[in-house]
Amino acid sequence: MSLGGSTHAPAVERRANRMMIAVLAVVCALLAVRAFVGTTVGSGESARTVHGFGAVYVEAAPKAVPEQAWTEWREVPAGAWADATAKDPAQESVQVSWPRTVGVWFAALMTLAVFSFLWRDNPLYKLAESVVVGVSAGYWMVVALWDTLVPKLAGSLVPEWTKANLMPSLDRTAADWWSLVPLGLGMLLLCRLSARLSWLGIFPLAFVVGTFSGLKFVQFIESDLVAQVATMFDPLVVVKHDAAATPGAVAAVDWAGSVGASVGAVLVLVGVLSVLAYFFFSLEHKGALGRTAKVGVWYLMITFGASFGFTVMGRIALLAARFEFLFDDWLWIIDPAGKH
C-alpha cells in the first residue's frame, strides 16, 4: 500500500522514525504504569481500586413503556458500579460497556494521532484525517436524509408509504406535488457528477444564487445598513445619574460616567466615519481625507488586535477541552466532574 512519498534524505527519515518509535515506546510504558497504579472508585466502604482506565460504566435505564422488549443503557459514574458491587458482588445491573470503552480508547488514540502532526506529518495523522473526512461526509448525508429529505420530500410525495415504513408519526395523507420542484432541481444538481451532464447543474445553482441574492439584499440593508446607521444617531453628550439615595429624591449627576460615556460616543462616531473614509477608494487619500483615513487605519489596527486576542482565547479553550478529555475521560488522572 502506497502511503505517499517522502522528500527527506533516507538517513534523516530513519532518524526521525527511530525518534517517533522511541517516543511511542515511552508513552506506552507510561500508560502501562498508569494502568498498574490504578484508581480508587466509589467512596466509604464501597471504595475499591480499579486497575486500568478509560472504562465507561452503564446501567439499565427504566423502560419507556412496560411492553418495551429491549434494554436501553445509560452512562453512570464508576462509583455507582463500586456501590452496586459492594452490595452484591454478582450484580450485573451496573457493568462496563465495552462498545463505549473501546470508543473512549479509539477517541483518545485518534486524538493523539492528530496531535502527532505537531511533531511531523506521519501515517497515523493521515489515517485519522482520512477517517474524519469520510465520517463527516457520511454524517452530513445521513442527517440531511432523515431530517429533511424524508419528512419534506418523501413525506410530501409518498406520504402513505413514508408513514408505513419510515415515519409512522407523519400526519400528512395527501401528496403535495409542488415538492416535485425541489426534487427536480435536486436531480439536476446531482447531474454535476457526470462530466457529460454537468451543464444541467447551472439551473439549480441559478435558483440558489437568485434566492440567496433576494434574501440577502433585503436583510443586509435592513440589519447591517439601516439599523447600524440609525445607531450612529445616538446622543453624543450623555448624562448619567447616580442611583437616588431615597425613592423620589433627585439623583446626583455621575460626572465620571457621563464624561466617559460621552467621550466613548464621540470616539465611536469618529471611528466609524474615519474607517468608512479609509474604505472610500473613489478619491485619492490626501489632504483631509488622507488624514481621516489614517485615523481609520489606527482604528482598524486596534480592531484587528482585539480580534487576535479573542481568537487566541478561542483556540486555547479548544485545546484545553481536548486535554481535559485525555486527562479525565481517558487517563482518569483528574475527575473535576465526579464522573469516576
| Given 122, 129, 236, 289, the residue binding other proteins (CB under 8 A) | 129
Output the smallest distance, CB 89 to other proteins, in A: 26
4 binds other proteins (CB under 8 A): yes
Q: Which is nearer to other proteins, 86 or 268 (CB)?
A: 268
Residues 73-102 that bind other proteins (CB under 8 A): 73-74, 99-100
33 binds other proteins (CB under 8 A): no
Q: What phi and psi, each to the nearest 5 degrees, are found at residue 105?
A: -65, -40
3-state secondary structure of 290: helix
As a whole number of angstroms, the longest Cα–Cα distance in the chain is 88
Q: Which is nearer to other proteins, 93 or 130 (CB)?
A: 130
C-alpha cell at 240: 448619567
62 binds other proteins (CB under 8 A): no
Q: Is 84 exposed, middle or buried (0-12, 13-18, 19+ CB in 10 A)?
A: buried
Element (H, E) at 57: strand 57-60
**Both ends of the chain: CA-CA distance in Å?**
42
Output the smallest distance, CB 52 to other proteins, in A: 18
User: Distance between CA 35 and CA 57 in Å, rounded?
Assistant: 17
C-alpha cell at 299: 482604528
Q: Which is nearer to other proteins, 52 or 298 (CB)?
A: 298
Binding string, residues 260-299; x marks residues near other proteins by CB under 8 A: x---x--xxxxxxx-xx--x----------------xxxx
Q: Which is nearer to other proteins, 90 or 230 (CB)?
A: 230
Separate counts of helices (H) and strands (E) for the chain: 11, 5
Output the smallest distance, CB 124 to other proteins, in A: 11
C-alpha cell at 256: 465620571
Q: Which is nearer to other proteins, 52 or 305 (CB)?
A: 305
In degrees, to the nearest 5, what angle opens at C-alpha 98 toward C-alphas 96 and 103? 120
User: Which range in 38-46, 81-89, 243-251, 326-334 contacts other proteins by CB under 8 A?
Assistant: 326-334
Q: Which is nearer to other proteins, 45 or 67 (CB)?
A: 67
173 binds other proteins (CB under 8 A): no
Strand partners, 58: 75, 95
114 binds other proteins (CB under 8 A): yes
Output the smallest distance, CB 185 to other proteins, in A: 5
Tally of residues, the chain? 340
**Residue 48: closest CA among 78, 93, 91:** 78
Output the smallest distance, CB 211 to other proteins, in A: 5
Measured from the Cβ of residue 189, the count of other Cβ atoms closer than 10 Å reads 18
38 binds other proteins (CB under 8 A): no
161 binds other proteins (CB under 8 A): no
27 binds other proteins (CB under 8 A): no
User: Distance between CA 286 and CA 89 in Å, rounded?
Assistant: 86
* Ramachandran class of 285: left when φ > 0, alpha when ψ lies in -120 to 50, beta otherwise: beta
Q: Which is nearer to other proteins, 25 or 142 (CB)?
A: 142
Residues 185-224 that bind other proteins (CB under 8 A): 185-186, 189-190, 192-193, 199, 202-211, 213-224
User: Distance between CA 129 and CA 137 in Å, rounded?
Assistant: 12
231 binds other proteins (CB under 8 A): yes
43 binds other proteins (CB under 8 A): no
